[in-house]
Amino acid sequence: MRRAASIAVFGAAGSVLLSSCAGSPSLLDSHGARGADITTLWWLMFWIAAAVCVIITILLIWATTRARSRPAEPDLHAAGGTSLVLWGGAIIPAILLVGVFSFVLKTMVAEAGVHDPGPITIKVIGHRWWWEFDYMKQHVDTANELHVPAGRAVTLKITSVDVIHSFWVPQIQEKTDAIPGRINTVAFQANKVGTNLGECAEYCGMQHANMDFLVVAQPPAEFQHWLRSQQKPAPVPKTALQEAGQQVFLGSACVYCHTIKGTNASGNVGPDLTHFAGRKSIGAGILPNTPGNLAGWIANSQSIKPGNAMPPMDISGNKMQALLAYMETLK
């Protein structure tokens, strides 16, 4: 009865663990130049551990079944007992551990040696709780969406303005700490065209779990097109409603924290909104970027993502409609 119950408990725990993985990016499905090495290392360690586990289990079963037919006080030195302990307990584990350790070192050295700077250098800045991506030479500053050319290396300079965060794209690259006052320079390469989820991997406070970003790997020509479009200032409002919305933005506290290139708004506390409408999410992955969600976010982002730096804004009715119409033009 107890056995059946414990099997049920383990089964339930296992299925909860496995189901929580569904839909998450797996580091075993690697799309990056560096991720592949780590995946190989992971599988090597998995198969060694699995083999050790199987051998130990077989020995245990063998020992327990054999013990029943033996005298109460067995002679430990009979049948090579001491040498079995020496080999199984010291020599073989030492060989395995040293072997795995040298493979880990080899992988680490190979990772550290990836230094193909390429023409694109992106400063990655962790904020509580969002990511800023500053394409330094191209004068493009965006948030929570890292665009890169597929198959080409870019250089990331990873840092933070407040606490320690960790930049992690499970399918492309290992974790790199984002540390205030320090810049960690790494090469970054997505091998496949596509969108990958990245996340903060270092506990950084209340909204640590809501600090996601997307890595959009584009064909190089498409990436260059994206970069050029991002370099342009925000489009000029075309309709009276959009114009009114721009006045709402420029006449409110928004300008102290946000930049919209081509206008007087030049704050740098929150994300640069020059091309905000082209992004897929708001609040660093917490909501899809739709007018309804944006209205809720502007009115009171604290109810959506408590503790974030944006205060509730007293903008309602017609003013909010105009502001939303304007924000949608920021492509």
Among 10, 101, 203, 256, binds ligand CUA (CB under 6 A): 203
Question: Contact at 8 Å (CB) between 295 and 324?
Answer: yes
Residue 127 vs 275, nearer CB to ligand CUA: 127
State whether residue 118 is helix, strand or coil. Answer: coil
> Which DSSP symbol is given to 14?
H
Query: How many residues of this chain interact with ligand CUA, rule: CB under 6 A?
Result: 9
Question: Contact at 8 Å (CB) between 178 and 166?
Answer: yes
Residue 153 vs 211, nearer CB to ligand CUA: 211
Among 132, 141, 174, 202, binds ligand CUA (CB under 6 A): 202
CB of 309 to ligand CUA, least distance (A): 13
b/e for 16-32, b at 16 or more Cβ within 10 A? eeeeeeeeebebeebbb
CB of 310 to ligand CUA, least distance (A): 16
Number of H helices, E strands in the chain: 9, 12
CB of 182 to ligand CUA, least distance (A): 15
State whether residue 236 is helix, strand or coil. Answer: coil
Q: Does 212 bind ligand CUA (CB under 6 A)?
A: no
DSSP string, 196-207: EEEEE-S--STT
Q: From CA 11, how far away is CA 19, in angstroms rounded?
A: 12
Q: From CA 266, how far away is CA 71, in angstroms rounded?
A: 85
Site for ligand CUA in 98-157 (CB under 6 A): 126, 129
Among 200, 287, 322, 324, binds ligand CUA (CB under 6 A): 200
Site for ligand CUA in 17-56 (CB under 6 A): none
Residue 204 vs 327, nearer CB to ligand CUA: 204
Q: Interface with ligand CUA by CB under 6 A: which residues?
A: 126, 129, 165, 200, 202-204, 208, 211
